Amino acid sequence: MSMHLYALTLQKATAITQAIYGNFSAPKAQEIVVARGKILELLRPDDTGKVQSILSWECFGIIRCIYPFRLLSGKRDYIVVGSDSGRIVVLQFDEQKNKFLKIHEETFGKSGCRRIVPGQYVAGDPHGRAIMIGAIEKQKLVYILNRDGMNQLTISSPLEAHKSHTIIHSIVGVDNGFENPIFACLECDYQDVKYDEKNKLVPPPKNLTFYELDLGLNHVTRKWSSETEPSANLLIAVPGGESGPGGVLVCCENYVIYKNMGHDDVKVPIPRRLGMDDDKPLLIVTSATHKQKRMFFFLVQTEFGDIYRISIQYEEDEVDDVLIKYFDTIPPAVSICVLRTGFLFAASETGDHYLFQIQGIGEDDDTVETSMQNLNDPWKLFKPRKIKNLALIDEMESPSPVLDTKVGDFAGEGTPQIYTLCGKGNRSTLRVLRHGLAVTEMAVSELPGNPKFVWAVKTKRSDEFCKYIVVSFDNGTIVLSIGEKVTEVTDSGILDTQTLSLSLLNDDSLLQIHPKGMRHIRPGKPVNEWKTPGQRQIAKCAVNSRQAVVALVGGEIIYFETDNMGQLMDLQRTDMQNDVAALALAPIQPGQRKALFMAVGCFDNTVRILSLDNNQLLSQLTLQAVNAVPSSILLTRMTAEEGKEAKGKLFLYAGLKNGVLIRSAVDEANGTLSDDRKRFLGPREVQLREVSIYERPAVMALSTRSWLSYTYQGRFHMTPMSYEELADVSAFSSEQCPEGIVAITDGSLRIVTLEKLGDLFNTTMLPLSYTPRRMAVHPETNHLIVIEADNQTYPLAEKKEMEKAMNEGEDSKEESSSKRRRLQGGKYEESNGKKAKEEKKDMEEEDEDEDEDIDEEEQAKLKTFLGELYRPAAGKWASCIRVVDPKTLETVCVEELGNNEAAFSVAVIQFGSKDDGYYICVGTVKDLVMSPRKHSGGFINTYRLVTGSSKTELQLVHKTQVHDVCLAMTQFDKKLLAGVGRYLRIYDLGKKKLLRKCENKSFPTTICTLDTKGSRIYVGDLCESFHLVKYKPSTKQFYIFADTTHPFYTTSRCLLDYNTIAGGDKFGNLLVTRLPDSVTEEKEEDPIGLQGKFGKGRLSSAANKMSSVVNYYVGEMISSLQKTALVPAGPEVLFFATVMGGVGIFVPFQSREDVEFFSHLEMHLRQENPPLCGRDHLSFRSYYSPVKECIDGDLCEQFSALEYKKQVEIAEELMCTPSEVTKRLEEMRNRVL
């Protein structure tokens, strides 16, 4: 069978391209919608400030712009989406279904991201009457939006506002009250191109143009145009009508200009950072508007991360001045949103995204402020500070951009970890992804002895929080009261003996079950005791709010119910003819008095469903044989549907002694079991406990690892917890922890919470100094060798010296100015100088107090917000080599590179000439300038990792100069194989430098990847795909014997087998290419060596051509590929990571039946579930090359989100049931995780 792959995303892209805010689900809901490339996601900050993901939806199209739109007098916002579909799409969020609903979809052009097809910009009239969607060049369309008699949104035919030979930089809707809608466009007219005396192109002028929509004539006219600064890049609409003067703010280099029709320009300089070069332009990249009834202001951010508050002084429609004041500094963002609840959301360009609380608007702040009066003054300077007007509330983890990954069990944990190099500059990190939910530990308390069970119970069902934590031991039970402190109590009425179960019943009474009987504790009434007959002991038990069942040793089952007086009544007994291993009672549905089913697991490897109906009490309905003794069973009601009115389905969970978990659906009409789902959790027996996650039932399965089965965003999830082995758990809630879990393990009591549901991985990270480039693994120690390099950055040592000199300069400057004041003004000025010093001292003491309140990790994070305070010109590099211990994720040693060198490649080599261990080879370049590209030569530095008794360090062996940048290195025949520019070379170890043994200069551009297998070398070219090279040791010659037929801009590669290689390019394509079987060893060997040296094949290249096996468009640039297994003894998959932070796998199909099934499922979903943004799915996955032999697993997994009627229709076409389809989808995912 030919190769067929199943593409599956494990972690969606985390980078954000645009963010908007509005009321999308309810009139007063403050929510944020973000675009992540091809994903649309709805976020909502909760009451505690934590950002929750409500819905994340794959659109299968590149989202170019989004805009919140509200009709006049509307209470909820729509989402207008501009994408590569050639259509404008209006979406509405349905809270009941938890889905984005497509309200309108209007076609206006061709698909794809084209210059003259609208979709790059979208803006709306502030009063909700029209929207304008524009292209990068020429075309702009205006749509009138209204509502019909049924209060439904209507959209008109497009009205053209085109202007040829015009490039558009920004579009906004102008607020002019209820007059005809006006849209402002920042345009560059290149029709009349001019050249200066030196024949250099003169930049064409930029114009601010107002387009008016005449609602009466249904026509768009060009109303007003004014020339502005050539560097203008962004427009900000100013509130108008009764709220403000209207008009726009034009952001350009170093200045902000207020413009409006019939109004003089108001130009204001932007305050600059201390230490910035005067000729370095300052550019505003994003903005947010905060508007209230009687005031408004703008927050704008520059490319360095500095935020300014812009306020306007005006009377009626006349603007007197514009004030720009330094506000705070945070990481540079692509979008910032100011919510009405006082939050500021920042979608960072790289790294984590942040939610801040606005603590002040800077009115009482004495920082730098500029106005139009400062237009001709010298630049006003400020020194960036730690955030003062903002307080960090929450952060959303984002590894974007991912630059390199390694998958392996380098920490010796038994399961592979994913090591990723992420970020940019001083916010770079080395992150370790582990399969499992992140667990936050809230409290730990040691317990006497070895506890067996734990429960957290309330005293009343109406209580919001739990009252007691009850811990059971082999010989007793302790009761802990929950309050400001956790204390042991003795007056709870709970018997001090081994407890098997403790439950709160419907009448607020407690039921304690112990081996010798039951204890019913009723508030204000006598305690009832029930003893087991004949001194027999209770083996197993189960309880819900009105019913209880116990199993005695020997197999007898006794069933109890509460009567109208709250008394537990013994209603029925039966003998199972076998010892009982586990019991479970179904939960009682609202409106019903009791549950109708119970489950019994017996030692004969069976699970039985018994009826609790009064007419056939304890009669057997169903028997299911399992392959081991059930250790625990649980009946619970769960649903994947969203909304409070969603009706759950009854499931039976059975944990077996052999570590297998089985989930079966229970037919509530006759109790039959169907749709079995099995999963191996670990070698230890499985214990099941019901918990609550986001007010929904979930099941915790305890084995060698703890697993959580829950529903999230319309899909069932089964995910392990990244935490140590637990003995028992119970749902827990308190004022400090509203929704948590209390657990026991290793003689301790722990309270934990689960966050970031839906994520497959949890993350730990190590901060890095500069942008990471590549990493390698040392085979002897498993240490990670990470190389880092940053352009326009000072090395850490120089940076510290500059900060020290700057501080000393400020102190001396302050002393001289104070002395000058004393000489000029006498006692008055002297006293003022003393007062200023005292004030400064008080401020420093306050800052120290604030820093003491924040831990070191938080301080380091806030310091990274400031970015690079001192930025040199291009060509200044800072670089280092870092050795990291993967077990502790700590830095072992760091080697800073001097002489303006930057590291770009690394490899660990064992040379054959000296059998004395491994050497670390690092490819560097000196004085590199990226554009126009130039440098002073490259080097290959050879190091030894020397481990001493006290420390580990890198020892430089020697440096070897090369003529170009070395971007790829690997080991070949116990020598170093290096790609130096477009030259392929072999080096051996010498005493003073590396010795060149062989060279080939026939590669097209630059060698960026290298792999070897036997005597064959696989070379990845930067622009010309892959080349297969043969090395002849006898003649010490390389020759290229095979290559591909089309260009491929290689960014990553992975060798799959001797003839097959997979690669990713910078456009987001995956290519699997294979050498045909017709290329035999004889053709490859070419004994006389003439083919590689003199001969030419077809198309002026190699004689043999590799053929394409798989083509697939991922949608994001693939930065790393690796063939690996994600679980021990699991199947190998092709793992990939993208530059936007996404992680996924390509799974090879194992049978022709699977290929046909999923191919047909994908075909039906393309028809029945078209992409949300209007893009054709097949066209999207065939963006650059027709999709070939690869099935989109992300589309297939949207089957469970369809309406049930559509699921049935598709399943019937596949000749199966909807549950069988979802089962096969789960099996594909569970096979590799």
DSSP states of 1130-1183 as a string? PPPEEEEEETTS-EEEEEEPS-HHHHHHHHHHHHHHHHHS--TTS--HHHHHTS
DSSP assigned state of 929? B
Length of the chain, in residues: 1233
Which single residue is written with the structure tokens 């400062």? 374
Closest CA to 924 of 874, 881, 987: 881
Residue 943 CB-half CA count within 13 A: 28
13 contacts 400 by C-beta, under 8 angstroms: yes
The crossing angle, in degrees rounded to 10, of helices 1204-1213 and 1218-1230 is 80
Q: Cα–Cα–Cα angle for 4, 8, 10, nearest 5°?
A: 150
- pLDDT the model gives residue 1187: 97
CA distance 822 to 829: 6
Which helix (H) or strand (E) covers residue 694, if one does?
none
CA distance 641 to 649: 10
Tell me the residue type at 1207.
Answer: Q
Joined tokens for residue 925: 């370049």
According to DSSP, the β-strands at 390-396 and 381-382 are unpaired
Residue 574's Cβ-count burial label (10 Å; 0-12, 13-18, 19+) is: middle
Tell me the residue type at 276.
Answer: M
Residue 480's Cβ-count burial label (10 Å; 0-12, 13-18, 19+) is: buried
- The strand pairing partners of 369, in sequence order, are 325
- pLDDT the model gives residue 377: 86
Joined tokens for residue 702: 């305890």
- The strand pairing partners of 1021, in sequence order, are 1007
According to DSSP, the β-strands at 353-358 and 390-396 are antiparallel
C-alpha 702 chain-centroid distance? 28
Joined tokens for residue 527: 């305690």
Which single residue is written with the structure tokens 């770079």? 428
CA distance 1221 to 494: 49
- pLDDT the model gives residue 799: 85
**Residue 671 falls in which region: left (phi positive, over 0), alpha (psi -120 to 50) or beta:** left
208 contacts 250 by C-beta, under 8 angstroms: yes
End-to-end CA distance of the chain: 25
- pLDDT the model gives residue 821: 40
- pLDDT the model gives residue 802: 82
1058 contacts 1074 by C-beta, under 8 angstroms: no
- pLDDT the model gives residue 811: 57
CA distance 628 to 659: 9
Q: Cα–Cα–Cα angle for 972, 978, 984, nearest 5°?
A: 100
Closest CA to 608 of 573, 581, 645, 590: 581
CA distance 578 to 583: 13
CA distance 799 to 818: 29
- pLDDT the model gives residue 1089: 47
- How far is it between the farthest Cα atoms of the chain? 113
Which helix (H) or strand (E) covers residue 849, if one does?
helix 796-853
- pLDDT the model gives residue 642: 59
- 964-989 as b/e, with b when 16 or more CB fall inside 10 Å? bbbbbbbbbeebbbbbbbbbbbbbbb
- The strand pairing partners of 746, in sequence order, are none
Joined tokens for residue 724: 């140590």
Low-confidence ranges of the chain (pLDDT < 50): 813-814, 816-847, 849-850, 852, 1087-1089, 1091-1099
**Cβ contacts of 83 within 8 Å, gap of 6 or more:** 59, 61, 62, 63, 64, 89, 119, 1173, 1174, 1175
Joined tokens for residue 542: 């189960």
CA distance 771 to 787: 9
Tell me the residue type at 94.
Answer: D
Model confidence pLDDT, tens digit, residues 1187-1206: 999 999 999 999 999 999 99
CA distance 1166 to 1172: 12
Closest CA to 557 of 595, 583, 535, 531: 583
DSSP assigned state of 563? -
Joined tokens for residue 551: 């199993």
Tell me the residue type at 1229.
Answer: R
**How far, in Å, are 346, 451, 870, 941 from residue 392 at the CA level?**
11, 40, 25, 42
CA distance 922 to 221: 62
Which helix (H) or strand (E) covers residue 773, if one does?
strand 772-777
Which helix (H) or strand (E) covers residue 829, if one does?
helix 796-853
- pLDDT the model gives residue 501: 94
Model confidence pLDDT, tens digit, residues 139-168: 999 999 999 888 889 999 999 999 999 999
- The strand pairing partners of 314, in sequence order, are 319
Joined tokens for residue 96: 């009941």
749 contacts 469 by C-beta, under 8 angstroms: yes
Closest CA to 145 of 87, 189, 103, 93: 103
CA distance 433 to 660: 25
**Residue 605 falls in which region: left (phi positive, over 0), alpha (psi -120 to 50) or beta:** left
Q: What is the dihedral of CA 98, 100, 103, 104, to 10 degrees?
A: -170
**Cβ contacts of 831 within 8 Å, gap of 6 or more:** none
DSSP assigned state of 1068? S
**Cβ contacts of 86 within 8 Å, gap of 6 or more:** 107, 108, 109, 110, 111, 112, 117, 119, 1174
Model confidence pLDDT, tens digit, residues 857-884: 677 777 788 887 778 888 899 999 999 9
CA distance 849 to 845: 6
Residue 431 CB-half CA count within 13 A: 24
CA distance 331 to 312: 26
**Cβ contacts of 861 within 8 Å, gap of 6 or more:** 392
- Strand residues in 215-273 grouped as ranges (E): 219-228, 234-237, 248-252, 255-260, 263-269, 272-273
C-alpha 1214 chain-centroid distance? 34
**How far, in Å, are 52, 194, 439 from residue 47 at the CA level?**
11, 58, 20
